[in-house]
A and B are shown apart, each in its own frame.
Chain A
Amino acid sequence: MGLKSFCLKKSLWVFHLAGASCNNCDIEILDILTPRYDAERFGIQLVGSPRHADVILVSGSINQRDKPRVLEVYEQAAKPVFVVAFGACGCTGGIFAEGNTFAGPLDKIIPVDAYIPGCPPKPEAMLSGITKLIQKI
């Protein structure tokens, strides 16, 4: 394990990208920053700009209008960047998968490194997803 990957593992900065989300996942994401779960002890921070991001967290189903935006954010982010699909809609499209505006699940648009299923996922599931992502790096 080199110094580079060690530092990357220790400080993952997350950029949150909400697709056509019902906002439940977006609210649940804030849970792991609360005192009980406290993701900052692993060095995880929410950042406001994709330029600073190491992880792009995508929640909600991706429809025709979101698709170019997701691609834009992915291209503008400084590499190496990891993508996490969040919630049932982010992973597969959920109940919107049959809809006529649906633009395909996230992993058909950009490469996805980890999936966190659930509607919405529990904070424990999020921590387990983060652990899997860190093991993968």
Chain B
Amino acid sequence: MAETLFYFFIYPGLLFAGVVGGLLAWFDRKITAQVQFRKGPPLLQPFYDFLKLLLVKETILPAKGAKLTFLIAPVLGLFGATISATFILLPLFGIDIGFEGDVIVIFYLLTIPSLTYIIGALASANPLAAVGASREIKLIISYELTFLLLFAAIILKADMSLKISEIIQIQQAGAPFIGSISGILLLIVGVFCAQAKLGMVPFDIAEAETELAEGSFIEYSGTIYAIVKFTKYIMLFILPALLVGFLMSGFHLEGIGILWAILKILAVVLLFSLIRNTNPRLKIKQAMRFFLIGMNALVIIAIVLIYLGL
């Protein structure tokens, strides 16, 4: 029992994923600064932000909103992120605790944070948050089908095995999936889906800083906003980790393998940062067309290629 709680709350769940995610958030901001020829923030900047919001700032409740829902939504989002972090990271670190969530469970768990953002935004009774929530709903509708097809393609490629640990074993025994044409197509799709899930720039439609003033999160302040930030840090770690597990043969945590594991995660996050810094924000219509037509077509081509054995 105590061991299970340790897995969920300390390593590799809540605390570990949050801390690594914070460091990756710094990496993302540093890369952004380097792209713009700036110096960028210090290493611990995401933690300063988090601790400031958690310890110093006052939490304001909206006068006309549903206060309890407004407060509970981010906490539920953090639960969703923590559980999916545990189920993704346990097989990646090679720890076996009996029940491993299969990829279908992980697919559903990864949707929870976005859903709670919508619930929290609608509970805040702010018109800008409502616009943000409606955009987030449209964004979910557009990318979830693509994300599910991506999972289907991975399952097909891994000879119908539903467990992340088996998917990784198949890759470590043979070649990593990314070494084939279908694997490269799936990586492209996966990166864009993760980008939309994280709300990074081409798809930050829901929290558009310039016109909606953070959109869904406009009413959050203090401790409760710190929880939202922490959820975002965890997501920034587990989505690249999931892609690494699916396509780049996971982690091999022995000797030089640790360095490779870190480099794989950093490479995926670097890809996210570069896409985010070189693209403007899409309109919701363009984002829907991009996913429903372009990305779905790519996944279907990849599935056909997998059937042909490429």
Residue numbers of A with Cβ under 8 A of B are 3-5, 7-8, 10-11, 34-35, 38, 40-41, 43, 47-49, 51-52, 54, 76, 78-80
Task: Return the 5 tightest CB-CB contacts between A and B, nearest first.
Answer: A48-B213, A78-B221, A10-B48, A51-B221, A7-B52
Residues of A within 8 A of B308 (CB): none
User: By the criterion CB–CB under 8 Å, are A8 and B56 in contact?
Assistant: yes
Interchain residue pairs with CB less than 8 A apart (26) = A3-B55, A7-B48, A8-B56, A10-B45, A11-B45, A11-B52, A35-B37, A38-B38, A40-B33, A40-B40, A41-B40, A41-B42, A43-B41, A43-B42, A43-B45, A49-B218, A49-B219, A51-B60, A51-B219, A51-B220, A52-B220, A76-B60, A78-B59, A79-B57, A79-B58, A80-B58
Residues of B within 8 A of A78 (CB): 57-60, 221-222
Query: How long is the Cα–Cα vector from A5 to B48 in the complex, in angstroms?
Result: 10
Q: How far is the CB of A31 from chain B (nearest CB, A)?
A: 13
User: CB of B225 within 8 A of chain A?
Assistant: yes
Report B41-56 CB contacts with A as 1/0, cut-off 8 Å.
Answer: 1101100110110011
User: By the criterion CB–CB under 8 Å, are A7 and B39 in contact?
Assistant: no
Q: How far is the CB of B75 from chain A (nearest CB, A)?
A: 18
Give the contacts of B13-72 with A (CB-CB under 8 A). Answer: 29, 33, 36-42, 44-45, 48-49, 51-52, 55-60
User: By the criterion CB–CB under 8 Å, are B51 and A7 in contact?
Assistant: yes
Task: Please name the residue on chain B nearest to A76 by beta carbon.
Answer: B60
Q: How far is the CB of A3 from chain B (nearest CB, A)?
A: 7
B interface majority secondary structure: loop
Known contacts A7-B48, A8-B52, A10-B45, then 8 further A-B pairs from the complex at CB < 8 Å, ordered by chain A residue: A4-B56, A7-B51, A10-B48, A38-B38, A40-B41, A48-B212, A48-B213, A51-B60
User: By the criterion CB–CB under 8 Å, are B33 and A48 in contact?
Assistant: no
Q: How far is the CB of A61 from chain B (nearest CB, A)?
A: 24
Interface size class of B (residues with CB under 8 A): 20 to 34
Task: Please name the residue on chain A nearest to B222 by beta carbon.
Answer: A78
Q: How far is the CB of A136 from chain B (nearest CB, A)?
A: 15
Query: How long is the Cα–Cα vector from A30 to B213 in the complex, in angstroms?
Result: 17
Q: How far is the CB of A36 from chain B (nearest CB, A)?
A: 9
A49 CB contact (under 8 Å) in B33, B36, B48, B213:
B213
Residues of A within 8 A of B40 (CB): 38, 40-41
Task: Please name the residue on chain B nearest to A75 by beta carbon.
Answer: B60
User: CB of B210 within 8 A of chain A?
Assistant: yes
Residues of A within 8 A of B48 (CB): 7, 10-11, 43
Task: Please name the residue on chain B nearest to A15 by beta carbon.
Answer: B213
Query: How long is the Cα–Cα vector from A76 to B37 in the complex, in angstroms?
Result: 35
User: CB of B214 within 8 A of chain A?
Assistant: yes
User: CB of B102 within 8 A of chain A?
Assistant: no
User: By the criterion CB–CB under 8 Å, are B218 and A3 in contact?
Assistant: no
Residues of B within 8 A of A48 (CB): 209-210, 212-214, 218
Query: How long is the Cα–Cα vector from A44 to B144 in the complex, in angstroms?
Result: 35
Residues of A within 8 A of B220 (CB): 51-52
Residues of A within 8 A of B51 (CB): 3, 7
Query: How long is the Cα–Cα vector from A98 to B225 in the complex, in angstroms?
Result: 43
Give the contacts of B194-252 with A (CB-CB under 8 A). Answer: 209-210, 212-214, 217-222, 225
A52 CB contact (under 8 Å) in B55, B56, B225:
B225
Task: Output the residue of B33, B56, B210, B219 with the most chain A CB within 10 A.
Answer: B56
Residues of B within 8 A of A41 (CB): 38-42
Residues of A within 8 A of B221 (CB): 51-52, 78
Residues of B within 8 A of A51 (CB): 60, 218-221, 225
